[in-house]
Structure 1
Amino acid sequence: MSDKYNEWENGGLVTLDEHSRAKYDVLGTYVERYLEILCRRYGMTSFKITLVDGFAGGGLYQAGEPGSPLILLQAVESAEAKINHFREKKMTVDAHYYFIEKRIKTFAILNSVLQQSRYKDEIGKTIFLKNGLFEDYVDTIVEDVKKRNPRGGGRVIFFLDQTGHSQVYPQTVRDIVKKIPKAEFIITISIDWLVDFISDKRPLFEKNVQKLGLVQYLNIEEIIRIKTEKQADWRYIIEAKLSVAWQKATGAHYFRPFFIEPEYSRRGYWLLHLSPHPTAHDAMTDIHWEKGNYFRHYGGGRGVDIFGYKPQPNNELNGISFSEAFQQSNMERLMEELPRLIWKHPDGVIFDKLLDMIRNVKAVNNSTVEKTLLKIREEKGIEISGEKGGKKRSKKLSGKDFLIIPRQKTLI
């Protein structure tokens, strides 16, 4: 990422690498889907949203590929067109954009790119360009969102594509969520930079953990021991330990960490999604499976224990790709685990509640859980009834469907 900024700072455009392309692909797809989901109510005529790019860069790449500011603008346009395609009464996505860039020359390129784009007339009206640090503008943005939504409920997506691992603080996220409860975040974290300090530069590792406000959520001695004794691949340590610490430190209800690994290097980064709503979380999980070639999950767990770890013969984890084989192995594990979870509720549990119980600890999407439950029903392992009672025999579950272990199974 530093080379990228060096080129922009020298007045040139940057070559878009594959892992940045993957990140932007996910960002654009997610924003489109987010809007399509939230704007699907037919009678809706307007929907307010604020999109914040805290590390906006120069806005354009060498071959003409759009940077994140243009990705966000185009995603909203595309979503609005799809939403209105079959509508007689059109609706408007009332979007405000904040593009923040701290480097003066890079900011000048961003400003020039937008001034020459079809969005130029919106600069200063719905597009707000800020030269400075993300942290310096957070309070202003929060207040603007609250003014636009005086009754509360402001929808905001923060895209925080930081360089390194320490420019976005979990406490900042927590503070924003307290003021804007529906805010969500897509954050990149160069985890390799932090992990490099674990064993050979322990004081720096502890200093960085302290700075990020993660120290109370981590057993530093355990992490250092696992790394130095080579008990597991370091990627397991990062995802299994630090991601949970990040979630606790931010207070985010739903979180989804995935690892983007560059094609020619094992030095990659997290794409971390933090959300207050299960629908948003589920949409991002679906996108991870659709874009499976980009991502890997580190950790040995399947089923409802994706951060679990069982040592391999060489004591290392090579990562799990989002493949059909991974999905099948998850279904096999879920065939065993889901009945056990349901059994803990003698009076049964509704499908939505079951999903919420496992949302943060499963790698598969909801459709895979649904397929698994239907297969368990075929094998007489569970009974499913509709919201109004009576056994359900259809091959599609709804959130209010009721799941229970058959009486004879409970007795056994």
Structure 2
Amino acid sequence: MEKPYEWANGAELEEHSRRKHKILREYFFQYITVRCQLPQQERFRLAVIDGFAGGGRYKCGTSGSPLIFVEELKRAIDAVNTQRAAQGLGLIEIECLLVLNDFSRDAIERLKVNLAPLQTDIQSTTPRLHVRVEYMNDPFEGAYPKIKRALEQGRYRNVLFNLDQCGHKHVERATLVDIMRSYSSVEIFYTFAIEALISFLKKADPIKLADQLRPFGLQSTDLSALEGAMSKNTWLGAAERLVFDAFRSCAPYVSPFSINNPGGWRYWMIHFANVVRARQVYNNVLHDNASAQAHFGRSGLNMLSYDPSHEDGALYLFDVSGREGARTQLLTDIPRLISEAGDVIRVGEFYEGIYNATPAHTDDVHQALIDNPDIQVITPTGGERRSAKAIDAGDILKLKDQKSFFPMFFDAGKKT
């Protein structure tokens, strides 16, 4: 199952890798531009750790993740400073520590060769971008203590880990938890093969695994029995819940979506974040890359509540049809959520409560708030929002007195 890349002779780029690299590229660009928005800002410092860096460029010439990070740093700082200059603001400088680790010595040597031209180009064309590259040649778990010391010594607060492993066993769950708890602003992209996770869960807790798969008519006793199910929607629904359950305690926001590969849902790319804004941006990037990742279940605010006995699940590919279904469900789900809080909730608190349980685009959530006949969006000064684009985290969501949806409960003493 774990097939190491032959970087010395040129590694083949598989379709699931192509899809996850496109998401990684676009999210990283958004990450930089979002973090460089303050008008008073003069400098942004970050560290990027690629734990399974590979050789940097595939046989077909396509960039791997280390080169993607450098290319997008250059593109982002150019875009940010062009906009700042147009607004009459001072230009910004970016300092990035790029730690590139791989167990393969061939991969690291090839990576040094492939990255050198980009480093030279930045030095000559982008003087406000400072990239320091550190190479390591260890198993990730062996490298992590050294990486952590380097980040502590450099006092890096903004940290992004890319952990694109073969299989599942090369990154311990305890390490994921430690990463997410060690830095004030940290995110992880974590990739693995679902077969490897199921093999691990079979040994760790076979009874729980069997219970999780049984409602979907799936068996955990033989992995080969799942082979024919991996391209079916019911399998995706079961596996997504299993993945979320395995990792939800690692971070406040866990995105448990599978890479939508023609060969079936075998590879998972999870995004871990500590702040809701990161999950919002990630969801939006997935919608910009429709069909790159997949979800099966509900598309409103309770995405993992799919019940196979009711057959109410649907395939959500972050595309136009998926968004239409999400808008319909949001119109019902949002007032119910507000009513669970009483009748009022701050928008920021609302975000924090929903983004681990929805694949929806931010624009669709905002439009559902404006279009919903049962909700008022009230500004901090007491006015009412009329535009979805103007909604702010400091606004208040309030249920109207006359509600069109069925109440969650009523006085038990009343006769109906």
User: What's the secondary structure of 1:55's corresponding residue?
Assistant: coil
Deviation at 1:29, TM superposition (A): 1.1
Measured at CA, do residues 310 and 31 of structure 1 come closer, stay the same or move farther in structure 2, by a change above 3 Å? same
Paired with 2:237 and 2:252, the residues of 1 have a C-alpha distance of 22
Paired with 2:131 and 2:349, the residues of 1 have a C-alpha distance of 43
Paired with 2:24 and 2:185, the residues of 1 have a C-alpha distance of 18
In the alignment, what sits opposite 1:128? Answer: 134
- Say if 2:307 and 2:313, in contact at 8 Å, map to a contact too: no
- Say if 1:347 and 1:404, in contact at 8 Å, map to a contact too: yes
In the alignment, what sits opposite 1:340? Answer: 336
- Say if 1:142 and 1:180, in contact at 8 Å, map to a contact too: no
In the alignment, what sits opposite 2:127? Answer: none
In the alignment, what sits opposite 1:27? Answer: 24
In the alignment, what sits opposite 2:277? Answer: 279
Measured at CA, do residues 125 and 68 of structure 1 come closer, stay the same or move farther in structure 2, by a change above 3 Å? closer
* Paired residue total: 383
Q: Which runs of 4+ in 1 moved over 4 A?
A: 1-4, 119-122, 229-232, 315-318
Deviation at 1:397, TM superposition (A): 1.6
Pairing 1:158–2:161 present:
yes
In the alignment, what sits opposite 1:113? Answer: 114
In the alignment, what sits opposite 2:148? Answer: 142
Paired with 1:26 and 1:55, the residues of 2 have a C-alpha distance of 17
Deviation at 1:347, TM superposition (A): 4.6
Paired with 1:301 and 1:341, the residues of 2 have a C-alpha distance of 15
In the alignment, what sits opposite 2:358? Answer: 362
Aligned-residue RMSD, C-alpha: 2.8
- 1:386-401 aligned within 5 A: 386-395=379-388, 396-401=390-395
- Say if 2:243 and 2:256, in contact at 8 Å, map to a contact too: no
Letter in 2 for 1:141: I
Question: Structure 1 residue aligned with 2:180, among 168, 177, 182?
Answer: 177
Paired with 2:22 and 2:95, the residues of 1 have a C-alpha distance of 23
User: What's the secondary structure of 1:390's corresponding residue?
Assistant: coil
TM-score by length of 2: 0.84
Measured at CA, do residues 383 and 137 of structure 1 come closer, stay the same or move farther in structure 2, by a change above 3 Å? same
Deviation at 1:155, TM superposition (A): 0.6
In the alignment, what sits opposite 1:201? Answer: none
In the alignment, what sits opposite 1:206? Answer: 202
Question: Structure 2 residue aligned with 1:405, among 391, 399, 411?
Answer: 399
User: What's the secondary structure of 1:306's corresponding residue?
Assistant: coil
Pairing 1:222–2:211 present:
yes
- Say if 1:102 and 1:133, in contact at 8 Å, map to a contact too: yes
In the alignment, what sits opposite 1:241? Answer: 242
In the alignment, what sits opposite 2:371? Answer: 375
User: What's the secondary structure of 2:185's corresponding residue?
Assistant: coil
Paired with 1:367 and 1:37, the residues of 2 have a C-alpha distance of 17
1:220-269 C-alpha deviation (Å, 9 max, x unpaired): 34035342299983322221122232121x2x011112111323x11531
In the alignment, what sits opposite 1:330? Answer: 326
Paired with 1:372 and 1:121, the residues of 2 have a C-alpha distance of 44
Letter in 2 for 1:184: E
Measured at CA, do residues 333 and 33 of structure 1 come closer, stay the same or move farther in structure 2, by a change above 3 Å? same
- Say if 1:233 and 1:318, in contact at 8 Å, map to a contact too: no
Unpaired stretches in structure 1, ≥5 consecutive residues: 198-203
Deviation at 1:4, TM superposition (A): 5.6
In the alignment, what sits opposite 2:317? Answer: 321
Q: Percent identity between the aligned chains?
A: 24
Measured at CA, do residues 371 and 174 of structure 1 come closer, stay the same or move farther in structure 2, by a change above 3 Å? same
Paired with 1:121 and 1:2, the residues of 2 have a C-alpha distance of 36
Paired with 2:131 and 2:83, the residues of 1 have a C-alpha distance of 29
User: What's the secondary structure of 2:393's corresponding residue?
Assistant: coil
